[in-house]
């Protein structure tokens, strides 16, 4: 491996926090995935504008037992209401 070169810091891969996604063999969430992909293409690959579709994909995974059910806040999906209120005020 290239990490065996002297005087180079070794890259240590860290395991993911929630482990590994089980594979979606039957393609149960393919539709949500395609919606997310098309949203990304429309918005010039900006993920901030496609969070709804990402949320839908993860919800599909949770419903089909392909992902552990967790609260949205733990996954970084916070309520959008305070931001919208601020926008309306301005």
Partner 1 sequence: MLRSLSALRGQCQQLFRSSIPHQSNVQKSAQFWRMKSTNSPEEAARKLRSKSTLYYITAGGVLIVGLSYAAVPLYSIFCQAYSYGGTTSQGHDAEKVEHMAKVEDRVLKIRFNADIGSSMRWNFKPQQYEIKVAPGETALAFYTARNPTDKPVIGISTYNVIPFEAGAYFNKIQCFCFEEQQLNPHEEVDMPVFFYIDPEITADPALEFCDTITLSYTFFEAKEGLQLNFPSYAKPHAATA
Q: What is the DSSP letter of 66?
A: S
Q: What minimum distance in Å lies between the beta carbon of 90 and partner 1?
A: 14
Binding residue for partner 1, selected from 5, 6, 7, 48, defined by CB under 8 A:
48
Residues with Cβ < 8 Å from 75, sequence gap 6 or more? 58
38 binds partner 1 (CB under 8 A): no
3-class DSSP assignment, residue 3 = helix
Q: What minimum distance in Å lies between the beta carbon of 89 and partner 1?
A: 17
Give the number of residues in contact with partner 1, rule: CB under 8 A: 43
H/E stretch holding 1:
none
86 binds partner 1 (CB under 8 A): no
């Amino acid at each position: 491996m290239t990490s065996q070169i002297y005087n180079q810091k070794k890259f240590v891969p860290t395991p993911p926090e929630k482990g590994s996604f089980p594979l979606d063999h039957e393609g149960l969430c393919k539709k949500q995935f395609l919606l997310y992909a098309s949203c990304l293409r429309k918005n010039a690959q900006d993920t901030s504008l496609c969070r709804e579709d990402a949320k839908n994909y993860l919800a599909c995974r949770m419903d089909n037992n392909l992902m552990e059910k967790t609260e949205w806040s733990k996954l970084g999906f916070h309520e959008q209401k305070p931001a919208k209120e601020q926008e309306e005020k301005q």
